[in-house]
């Protein structure tokens, strides 16, 4: 390499470093002033209210995770003597408060000759246990209290059995539970060394396999495989024994509630963040920042940084408080990032603070649902991995997390956040940010601002893939429990619709915002480029193979069946989607070139073709 070239490289590197330094400095200044300015808008009362609210949420969260909500504590009163064998039932149950029998019934000795129990007029009691062991109920709540008392008796008995050292006496029939992933094929081997191995019964929801009818084997060390029985309500997987009635799906309540604590502050922070972005737009206040030496991206980064750092701080603090590890923090960060990105783009599209409220509430509900609902199934199915919160739950349960699982869970969040910021940044300019347009028009403006020449179309198709991926994953998660006969057609329809919109919306935006001529030839070229780009990008979704989602029927409906190993089939399966995506994208593009109604018609046709294709492939290959 010549000296001149080296010098040029060094100069270029120096310029890049200088630019980076200046950019960082300006971003930092805007961030610093954003903090100072925002602090000026919050009065002392609001600060106190916020602190009180955060403390309340934190306390409620921790206590709920620790003890449950306690809403049903001592809601019923039981009249029972201490000598009764039912006294301990009432005393052990949180729902019941025992009171002496003499305090509630009219007879002096508590025994009645007839069938009726006579309760004193001034006594407050729901259930009465007579001295001869009969149980009755009184008052409006009596029937419900009676049912609960029966349940409490069963629980008490089960606990007694569990505490019994001689398990053979306590449990004449030994049941071994092993919770396994629902999608993993194979049967479970019974735990008893002399028990009969029976056919596995796969639960519809709980994912458990119940097998075996062997004898009690408290001292025999179990069966051929290690026992894995998640602790009910505890979130762990500590082996335990119990009655068949105690079998329930694993529900990591504690970890789930603690993981939810990460999401709670995000809902509040985006309100403040959305307001500060909106604040720049009302009365054109952001105009003067735009004429400063700071670039648009520096302004947005500067305004976002304090909120992002604030959320990072909160996430780290929560992780420390609940003894979460670095994985919990790394999993919560992309959620925070997407919350901010969605709030940013929402604030850029909203026309007023009223509209912004609607937008942020929608974001809160949608993202909280997306993150929280799948995490409920952490111990049940791989679907749960679509939410990074599942990683938090897993981390809190000390379960190992693979890199592939982390990327699968968080990838769509990182990419969606990046695309949201990109779209919002596109309209962060004088011509768009102060214009009063409906949200759909703003969305089209934002997309159209990224349409710069024909080659931007395939790129945008790829950029929209995270949304496609997230939408399809969400549809799989939401329809997971629905009967497959209903779920599969719905998932196929949703998947096709989302993909067709992702392939055509930027073409439509480009045409309506005069980025292209609305000729048939141009439409065909645009459609082909967009469809081709989408095909390339779609291959990225094969990451789902790593986590076994296509093994599920609804997963197959959304992402397609696993590819055959036959070369001919492999080739056909590879090329057929290309033809599909290009063909349907051209269909939508031609419609888009004919205006709004034409686009709707073209899109509908494309969706129908796509649905027919998916169902065909599903029937033929799967």
Q: 295's torsion region: left (phi>0), alpha (psi -120 to 50) or beta? A: beta
To the nearest whole angstrom, how small is the minimum distance from the Cβ of residue 231 to other proteins?
A: 52
Tell me if 431 contacts other proteins by CB under 8 A: yes
Stretch that binds other proteins, among 29-37, 80-88, 398-406, 608-616 (CB under 8 A): 29-37
CA atoms of 405 and 620, how far apart (whole Å): 30
Tell me if 429 contacts other proteins by CB under 8 A: yes
**Which of residues 33 and 455 has its CB atom nearest to other proteins in the complex?**
33
Stretch that binds other proteins, among 111-119, 329-337, 428-436, 489-497 (CB under 8 A): 428-436
Tell me if 26 contacts other proteins by CB under 8 A: yes
Stretch that binds other proteins, among 255-263, 291-299, 304-312, 577-585 (CB under 8 A): 291-299
Tell me if 436 contacts other proteins by CB under 8 A: no
User: 225: which DSSP letter?
Assistant: S
- What number of helices (H) and strands (E) belong to the chain? 22, 6
Q: Which of 13, 33, 455, 574 binds other proteins (CB under 8 A)?
A: 33
Stretch that binds other proteins, among 51-59, 148-156, 289-297, 326-334 (CB under 8 A): 289-297
Stretch that binds other proteins, among 25-33, 145-153, 500-508, 606-614 (CB under 8 A): 25-33
What H or E segment, with its residue span, contains residue 79?
strand 76-79
What residues between 486 and 515 interact with other proteins by CB under 8 A?
514
CA atoms of 153 and 80, how far apart (whole Å): 14
Stretch that binds other proteins, among 23-31, 115-123, 150-158, 563-571 (CB under 8 A): 23-31
Stretch that binds other proteins, among 3-11, 149-157, 168-176, 283-291 (CB under 8 A): 283-291
**Which of residues 265 and 286 has its CB atom nearest to other proteins in the complex?**
286
Tell me if 75 contacts other proteins by CB under 8 A: no
To the nearest whole angstrom, how small is the minimum distance from the Cβ of residue 533 to other proteins?
A: 27
To the nearest whole angstrom, how small is the minimum distance from the Cβ of residue 36 to other proteins?
A: 7
CA atoms of 225 and 420, how far apart (whole Å): 48
Per-residue burial over 310-341, b = 16 or more CB atoms within 10 Å of its CB, e = otherwise: bbeebbbebbeebebeebbbbbbbbbbbbbbb
Tell me if 226 contacts other proteins by CB under 8 A: no
Question: Strand pairing partners for 228?
Answer: 178
Per-residue burial over 170-207, b = 16 or more CB atoms within 10 Å of its CB, e = otherwise: bbeebbbbbbbebbeeeebbbbbeebebeebeeeeebb
Tally of CB atoms within 10 A around 62: 15
Instruction: Name the nearest CA neighbour of 464 among 475, 450, 478.
Output: 450
Tell me if 440 contacts other proteins by CB under 8 A: no
Instruction: Tell me the three state secondary structure of residue 68.
Output: coil
**Which of residues 22 and 181 has its CB atom nearest to other proteins in the complex?**
22
Tell me if 287 contacts other proteins by CB under 8 A: yes
**Which of residues 236 and 426 has its CB atom nearest to other proteins in the complex?**
426
Q: Which of 184, 285, 323, 596 binds other proteins (CB under 8 A)?
A: 285
CA atoms of 81 and 129, how far apart (whole Å): 8
> Contact at 8 Å (CB) between 481 and 377?
no
Tell me if 288 contacts other proteins by CB under 8 A: yes
Measured CA angle at 459 (ends 457, 462), to 5 deg: 115
CA atoms of 216 and 361, how far apart (whole Å): 54
- The DSSP bridge pattern shows strands 176-179 and 135-137 to be unpaired
Please enumerate in sequence order all residues whose Cβ is within 8 A of that of 176, keeping only pairs 6 or more positions apart, or say none: 190, 191, 192, 211, 212, 222, 223, 227, 229
> Contact at 8 Å (CB) between 256 and 235?
yes
Q: Which of 284, 323, 542, 596 binds other proteins (CB under 8 A)?
A: 284
Tokens, residue 292: 């400063």
To the nearest whole angstrom, how small is the minimum distance from the Cβ of residue 295 to other proteins?
A: 7
Tell me if 150 contacts other proteins by CB under 8 A: no
What H or E segment, with its residue span, contains residue 135?
strand 135-137
Tell me if 15 contacts other proteins by CB under 8 A: no
Stretch that binds other proteins, among 37-45, 137-145, 462-470, 532-540 (CB under 8 A): 37-45
Tell me if 292 contacts other proteins by CB under 8 A: yes
To the nearest whole angstrom, how small is the minimum distance from the Cβ of residue 44 to other proteins?
A: 14
Q: How many residues at the interface with other proteins, by CB under 8 A?
A: 26
Tell me if 443 contacts other proteins by CB under 8 A: no
Tell me if 539 contacts other proteins by CB under 8 A: no
**What strand order describes the sheet that includes 76-79?**
96-99, 76-79, 127-129, 135-137
Instruction: Tell me the three state secondary structure of residue 210.
Output: strand
Binding residues vs other proteins (CB under 8 A): 22, 26, 29-30, 33, 36-37, 40-41, 283-295, 429-431, 514
């Amino acid at each position: 390499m010549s000296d001149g070239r080296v010098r040029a490289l060094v100069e270029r590197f120096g310029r890049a470093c200088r630019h980076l330094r200046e950019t960082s400095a300006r971003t930092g200044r805007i961030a610093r002033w954003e903090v100072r300015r925002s602090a000026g808008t919050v009065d002392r009362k609001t600060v106190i209210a916020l602190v009180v609210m955060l403390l309340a949420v934190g306390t409620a969260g921790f206590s709920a995770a620790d003890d449950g909500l306690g809403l049903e504590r001592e809601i019923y009163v039981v009249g029972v003597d201490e000598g009764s064998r039912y006294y301990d039932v009432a005393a052990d149950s949180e729902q019941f408060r025992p009171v002496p029998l003499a305090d509630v019934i009219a007879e002096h000795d508590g025994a009645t000759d007839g069938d009726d129990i006579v309760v004193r007029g001034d006594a407050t009691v729901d259930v009465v246990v007579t001295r001869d062991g009969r149980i009755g109920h009184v008052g409006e709540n009596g029937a419900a209290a009676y049912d609960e008392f029966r349940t409490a008796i069963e629980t008490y008995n089960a606990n007694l059995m569990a505490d019994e050292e001689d398990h053979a006496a306590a449990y004449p029939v030994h049941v071994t539970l092993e919770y396994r992933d629902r999608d993993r094929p194979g049967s479970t081997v019974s735990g008893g060394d002399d028990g009969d191995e029976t056919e596995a019964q796969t639960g519809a929801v709980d994912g458990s396999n119940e097998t075996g009818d062997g004898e009690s084997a408290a001292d025999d060390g179990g069966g051929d495989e290690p026992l894995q029985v998640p602790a009910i309500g505890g979130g762990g997987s500590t082996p335990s024994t119990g009655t068949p009635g105690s079998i329930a799906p694993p529900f990591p309540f504690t970890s789930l509630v603690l993981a939810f604590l990460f999401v709670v502050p995000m809902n509040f922070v985006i309100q403040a963040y959305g307001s500060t972005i909106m604040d720049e737009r009302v009365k054109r206040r952001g105009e003067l920042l735009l004429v400063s030496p700071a670039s648009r991206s520096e302004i947005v980064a500067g305004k976002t940084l304090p909120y992002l750092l604030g959320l990072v701080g909160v996430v780290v603090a929560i992780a420390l408080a609940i003894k979460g590890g670095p994985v919990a923090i790394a999993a919560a960060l992309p959620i925070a990032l997407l919350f901010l990105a969605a709030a940013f783009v929402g604030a850029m599209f909203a026309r007023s603070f009223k509209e912004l409220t609607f937008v942020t509430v929608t974001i809160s509900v949608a993202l909280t649902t997306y993150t929280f609902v799948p995490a409920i199934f952490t111990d049940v199915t791989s679907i749960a991995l679509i939410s990074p919160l599942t990683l938090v739950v897993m981390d809190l349960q000390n379960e190992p997390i693979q890199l592939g699982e982390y990327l699968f869970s968080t990838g769509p969040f990182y990419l969606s956040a990046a695309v949201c910021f990109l779209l919002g940044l596109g309209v962060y300019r004088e011509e768009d940010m102060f214009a009063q347009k409906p949200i759909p028009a703003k969305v089209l403006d934002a997309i159209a601002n990224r349409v710069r020449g024909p080659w931007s179309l395939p790129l945008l198709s790829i950029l929209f893939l995270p949304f496609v991926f997230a939408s399809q994953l969400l549809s799989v998660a939401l329809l997971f429990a629905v009967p497959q006969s209903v779920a599969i057609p719905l998932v196929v329809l949703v998947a096709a619709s989302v993909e067709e919109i992702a392939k055509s919306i930027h073409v439509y935006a480009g045409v309506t915002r005069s980025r292209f001529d609305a000729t048939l030839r141009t439409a065909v070229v645009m459609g082909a480029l967009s469809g081709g780009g989408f095909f390339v990008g779609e291959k990225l979704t094969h990451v789902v193979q790593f986590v076994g989602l296509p093994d599920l029927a609804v997963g197959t409906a959304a992402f397609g069946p696993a590819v055959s190993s036959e070369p001919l089939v492999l080739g056909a399966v590879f090329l057929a989607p290309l033809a599909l995506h290009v063909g349907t994208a051209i269909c939508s593009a031609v419609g888009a070139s004919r205006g709004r109604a034409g686009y709707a018609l073209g899109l509908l046709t494309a969706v129908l073709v796509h649905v027919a294709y998916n169902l065909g492939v599903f029937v033929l290959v799967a």
